[in-house]
């Protein structure tokens, strides 16, 4: 799989389209779609038809397509909304990452069967203004009826969206049915914007392209969705709450600190759950809109595989980002509730030996994983002091990483090497993972697991699904965790999980968990 961006000039580039589409003779989107479909039916691989549209929020789009598989990614730089499935990738067990990578490679190269005959290049009369036709058996891009390589789509290029379970087998029962060990989709429709420009991209093969009426109908639904702003309504009232037994939690923290004192492990991240029944079905778009408004400094993610509920998160933690040879990661561990004087709280956090020790475990693990992957770590320096990152409810110790790959690595390969970091699992990894699997009463599923996107060149970005929950119908299941190290106090760690639950509770319109809610 290619890992380098071509230096040749693009035949057409999305950065030049503003001038093109602003012309009075610009055809209607339906005409542009029809022209692309006419090309797609002549080809033997996926065709991606790009349509320039207006910039809108992700919730405005997904509410109209809530019955389809969905996947979204919203950061300060980029919004991606995937609707439906053009191609699906699944992986299972220990080989899940390798299986997804192999499946994506097969799509990017349109790997033929051994009995297939060699195919011609696209006939010149169908290639528009292209001076270098794309072989008919390779994926291509179409903008304004012109054919070019996928790279010419720039930031609107095809991306797989999805993620993976915290560990193999962690998402094989309710409420995670349908998620699996790893799931990524190349969406049927992808809406993408960078804050200034936006495109709607349809991915079809020749067989799909023949159903032009269907794609026109779905385009009309999209146009109606973006015609106005998304109108947020109140979330339904809470009817019932079930949360983890606090006495059991305290016992678990004590068990972990005892194991640490014996030298069995250095850290284990223990998670708690809260399950909520609401008076009416949860609208995923409402929940995502609330997270957008309340946690704009986090990455907001929604993942809804076929036949599954929706994982929704507002996470502050990047697992890994790869852009060519450059890699970025975040060490985010050690935290304190954000109350009152932020500067005073941050100073208290910096001075906490327990939190500094917890943070250093994550820094060391990320540095080792990147080095083992053949990367040169540029930042931080070995003795660098952590920064502080203040969020709406929590303040974290934060150390950003920058590295350069000496050996090409797919972003999912890097994710497999990094996950789970001690920020969400513990150390040693195997011992902490065994404890999580055997002691936590509710399987984590995709909580604290890698979620995000990658492209056909193996670039991409994955975040850690923190401050998250899965919603289905009128039920919401939320997770929060705390890192247990030497010196951890059960009551303080319990309070930390309560604070971390506020992100999703607030988005659901629930300001606090009732103090006297019965343990079940």
Residue-level pLDDT at 104: 97
For residue 187, the cross-strand partners are none
Q: In whole angstroms, give the CA distance from residue 167 to residue 37.
A: 41
CA distance 165 to 74: 20
Please check whether residue 181 lies inside any domain of the structure.
yes
What is the DSSP code (8-state) at residue 125? Answer: G
Predicted confidence (pLDDT) at residue 5 exceeds the cutoff of 60: no
267 is catalytic: yes
Tell me the pLDDT band of 231, cut-offs 50, 70 and 90.
low
Percent of the chain with pLDDT over 70: 87
Does the residue 159 lie in any domain? yes
| Number of domains the chain is built from | 1
358 is catalytic: no
- Phi, psi at residue 263, to the nearest 5°? 85, 10
The verdict on residue 430 lying in a domain is no
Mean pLDDT over the full length of the chain: 88
Both tokens assigned to 93: 């067990």
- Band of the pLDDT at 238, cuts 50, 70, 90? confident
> What's this model's pTM, rounded to 2 decimal places?
0.89
Q: What is the mean pLDDT of residues 16-32?
A: 54
| pLDDT value, residue 492 | 92
pLDDT at 199 over 80: yes
Question: Do residues 81 and 58 lie in contact, with contact meaning Cβ atoms separated by under 8 Å?
Answer: yes
Selected catalytic residue, list 218, 317, 358, 496: 317
Looking at the domain assignment, is residue 265 inside a domain? Answer: no
Residue 113 predicted with pLDDT over 80 = no
Gap between the Cα atoms of 54 and 79, Å rounded: 13
198-204 and 182-186 as β-strands: parallel, antiparallel, unpaired?
A: unpaired
CB atoms within 10 A of CB 345: 18
- Band (pLDDT 50/70/90 cuts) for residue 489 is very high
pLDDT for 127? 32
Determine the pLDDT at residue 469.
97
Cis preceding linkage at 175, omega within 30? yes
What confidence score (pLDDT) does residue 235 get? 74
Residue 108 lies in a domain: yes
Contact 464, 319 (CB under 8 A): yes
Q: Report how far residue 486's alpha carbon sits from residue 73's, in angstroms, rounded to the nearest whole number.
A: 36
Ramachandran region of residue 502, left (φ > 0), alpha (ψ -120 to 50) or beta?
alpha
Q: Which of 35-44, 114-123, 320-329 has the lowest mean pLDDT?
A: 114-123
**127-173 pLDDT tens trace:** 333 333 688 889 999 988 889 999 999 999 999 999 999 999 999 89
Which residue intervals of 54-209 are DSSP H helices? 58-62, 96-109, 206-209
Predicted confidence at residue 269, as pLDDT, reads: 97
Integer Cα distance of 152 and 157 in angstroms: 8
- In eight-state DSSP terms, residue 489 is -
- Reduce the DSSP state of residue 73 to 3 states and report it: strand
Which of these is catalytic: 218, 267, 493, 500?
267
What secondary structure letter does DSSP report for 152?
Answer: G
Residue 446 lies in a domain: no
d(CA 67, CA 310): 11
β partners of residue 300: 74, 314
In a domain, residue 163? The reply is yes
Residue from 31, 71, 66, 72 nearest 51 by CA: 31
Closest CA to 140 of 37, 202, 208, 48: 48
Range(s) of the domain holding residue 124: 14-226
Give the pLDDT of residue 226: 81
Structural domain contains residue 48: yes
């Amino acid at each position: 799989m290619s890992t380098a961006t071509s230096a040749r000039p693009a035949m057409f580039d999305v950065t030049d389209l503003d001038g093109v589409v602003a012309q009075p003779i610009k055809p209607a989107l339906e005409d542009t779609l029809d022209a692309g479909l006419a090309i797609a039916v002549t080809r033997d691989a996926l065709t991606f038809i790009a349509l320039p549209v207006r910039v809108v929020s992700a919730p405005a789009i997904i509410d109209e397509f809530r019955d389809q598989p969905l996947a979204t990614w919203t950061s300060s730089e980029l919004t991606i909304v995937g609707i439906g499935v053009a191609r699906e990738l699944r992986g299972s067990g220990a080989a899940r990452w390798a299986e997804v990578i192999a499946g994506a490679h097969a799509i990017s190269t349109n790997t033929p069967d051994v009995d297939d005959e060699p195919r011609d290049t696209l006939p010149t009369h169908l290639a528009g203004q292209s001076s270098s036709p794309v072989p008919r058996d390779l994926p291509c891009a179409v903008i304004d009826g012109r054919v070019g390589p996928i790279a010419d789509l720039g930031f609107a290029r095809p991306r797989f969206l999805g993620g993976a379970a915290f560990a193999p087998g962690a998402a094989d029962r309710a409420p995670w049915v349908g998620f699996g060990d790893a799931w990524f989709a190349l969406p049927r429709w992808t809406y993408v914007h960078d804050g200034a420009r936006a495109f709607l991209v349809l991915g079809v093969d020749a067989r799909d392209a023949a159903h032009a009426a269907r794609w026109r109908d779905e385009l009309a639904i999209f146009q109606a969705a973006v015609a106005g702003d998304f109108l947020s309504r109140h979330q339904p009232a809470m009817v019932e709450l079930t949360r983890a037994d606090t006495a059991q939690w305290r016992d678990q923290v004590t068990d972990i600190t005892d194991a640490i004192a014996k030298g069995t492990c250095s850290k284990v991240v223990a998670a708690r759950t809260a399950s909520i029944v609401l008076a009416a079905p949860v609208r995923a778009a409402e929940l995502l809109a609330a997270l957008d408004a309340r946690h704009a400094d986090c990455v907001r993610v929604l993942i809804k595989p076929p036949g599954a509920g929706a994982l929704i998160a507002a996470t502050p933690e990047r697992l890994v980002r790869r852009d060519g040879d450059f890699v970025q990661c975040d060490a985010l561990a050690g935290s304190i509730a954000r109350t009152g004087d932020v500067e005073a709280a941050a100073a208290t956090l910096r001075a906490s030996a327990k939190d500094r020790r917890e943070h250093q475990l994550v820094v060391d693990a990320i540095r080792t994983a990147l080095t083992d992957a053949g990367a040169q770590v540029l930042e931080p320096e070995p003795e660098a002091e952590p920064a502080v990152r203040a969020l709406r409810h929590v303040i974290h110790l934060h150390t950003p990483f920058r590295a350069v790959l000496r050996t090409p690595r797919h972003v999912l390969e890097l994710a497999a090497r990094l996950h789970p970091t001690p920020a969400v699992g513990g150390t040693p990894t195997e011992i902490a993972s065994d404890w999580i699997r055997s002691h936590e009463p509710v399987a984590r599923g995709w909580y604290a697991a890698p979620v995000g996107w990658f492209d056909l060149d193996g670039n991409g970005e994955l975040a850690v699904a923190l401050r998250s929950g899965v919603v289905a119908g009128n039920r919401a299941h939320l997770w929060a965790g705390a890192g247990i190290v030497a010196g951890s106090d059960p009551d303080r760690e319990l309070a930390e999980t309560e604070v971390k639950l506020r992100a999703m509770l607030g988005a659901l319109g629930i300001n606090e968990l009732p103090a006297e809610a019965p343990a079940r």
